[in-house]
Amino acid sequence: MSIARTALLKASRSKWLAAQMSNRAFARRAVKKFMPGEDVAAALGEAANLATRNLGTVITQLGENLTTLGEADAVRDHYLGVLGSIRERGLATVISVKPTQLGLDLSADACFANIDALAARAGGMLWIDMEDASYVDRTLDLYRKLKAKHDNVGLCLQSYLRRTPADLDTLLPLKPAIRLVKGAYAEAPHVAFPVKRDVDLAYYALAETLLAAGAGGQALPVFGTHDMGLIERIAARAATLGVAKGKWELHMLYGIRSSDQQALAAQGQTVRCLISYGSAWFAWYMRRLAERPANVWFVVKSLLG
């Protein structure tokens, strides 16, 4: 792991830095590149705008590791309201939630009940994010319980975790929807691949497994990446296996490779743009920079410009 990535991930866990940066105008300007606003109205407004360019959207409220079940209930109620707004506006938008934001640290049963309520109300897919490695087993258990009741739940898996191939094998009998990402948390080398090349190799191997399952109608493969070379390889493999463009998706972050997102959508590829919102953006933003530390220079240039 590079020194810059290590430093950014360490910074992401600092409550003092979060408090300092959240009140700085220059930091808010930098974050504006990657989120349209802190409230859900801004997220839904941008979702409507992107819909005119044939881009679907996934929205998520930032924040994790709440400390009371009352806070988790409030997040559930917030998302229930968001789902109502999505339906009223007729948007091709779905939500993605973090289990710790819905009570996983406090009660697995309460967390399940909260996400169960959201899945029952959701008109489309409900995505469950994967957090750091300490949550994988609990999140897999949660997903299995939800999938037994709802077909419209999807799960994020991370290619940098050494355990992910085995986890995927156990999930495939469920005919899952899987969003594959590389991973953005600080993990020990025995838990996660520390070298980018190994993460990339693991990603493509997992992509091949997902596409093969997708070809047989046994999974919905979704790839969360901005690596255009990797996307080209995945598209070629999908074509070879006979997986039509509508049978797999690409998910890309708001503000990153926007022109590529539109070009891919224009070619008939299903692309969804992930839009984050909320005031708890510091840890999320630091992890985004850590995924590609060169983005730090991009942010500096954009502020100066």
Give the catalytic positions in this structure.
129, 179
Output the CA–CA distances (angstroms, integers) from residue 57 to 60, 137, 159, 180, 276, in the order listed.
10, 28, 23, 16, 10
Distance CA(22)–CA(41), nearest Å, equals 20
Instruction: Please give the single-letter amino acid code of residue 264.
Output: L
Output the CA–CA distances (angstroms, integers) from residue 280 to 28, 58, 116, 295, in the order listed.
12, 18, 24, 20
Distance CA(60)–CA(43), nearest Å, equals 9
Q: Which residues contact 230 (CB under 8 A, 6 or more apart)?
A: 200, 203, 204, 207, 223
